[in-house]
Amino acid sequence: MSVELPFAPVDAVIRRNAGSLRVSADAAEELARRIQLRGAALAADAAERATADDRKTLMIADFGTDGSATRNSLTLPVAPVDRIARLDIDDQYRVSMDARVALADLLESYADDVAEGAAVLARHAGRRTVTADDVETYFALVE
């Protein structure tokens, strides 16, 4: 599976949660992959809600959020999030711009939680670098 999300913004999300810790490239790549999986699943659920309402356009409400985020307030770029949203849904669906921003906001919040947990794990291990193993261990602990 190719990862649609660029690693640089994901790296920035990890760094803002890691404090003085360094971030390995593989940590950003692993988190980007996990964000993509989460985004595709959220979009698939949203598509089911849209279908139940006899719509072909995914809206903010389909993602269960109020849509208070703005495009400029996010670290994750909206265009790749749009591509992520379309990974597991039919081509018949459209994703409104507000819904794309809402999904990006949900995914960024998700990434913040994971990054914070991965940083705690790196510190606990006595390392100064957040690695992909920290991201993977976080998911092993919470799932």
The pLDDT assigned to 67 comes to: 80
Beta-carbon contacts of residue 80 (< 8 Å; ≥ 6 apart): 4, 5, 6
What does each C-alpha distance from 14 to 2, 50, 75 come to in angstroms? Answer: 21, 33, 11
117-130 average pLDDT score: 98
The pLDDT assigned to 3 comes to: 80
Residue type, 15: R
Residue 94 DSSP SS3: strand
Q: Where are the domains positioned within the chain? A: 7-142
DSSP-derived letter for residue 40 is: H
Q: Is the pTM of this model over 0.85?
A: yes
132-141 average pLDDT score: 98
The pLDDT assigned to 68 comes to: 86
Digit-coded pLDDT (tens) for 8-61:
999 999 999 999 999 999 999 999 999 999 999 999 999 999 999 999 999 999
The pLDDT assigned to 98 comes to: 95
Digit-coded pLDDT (tens) for 59-112:
999 999 888 889 999 999 999 999 999 999 988 999 999 999 999 999 999 999
The pLDDT assigned to 1 comes to: 64
Homologous superfamily assigned to 7-142: Histone, subunit A (1.10.20.10)
> How far apart are alpha carbons 88 and 37 in whole angstroms?
10
Residue type, 1: M
Average pLDDT of the chain, as a whole number = 95
The pLDDT assigned to 4 comes to: 85
The pLDDT assigned to 143 comes to: 81
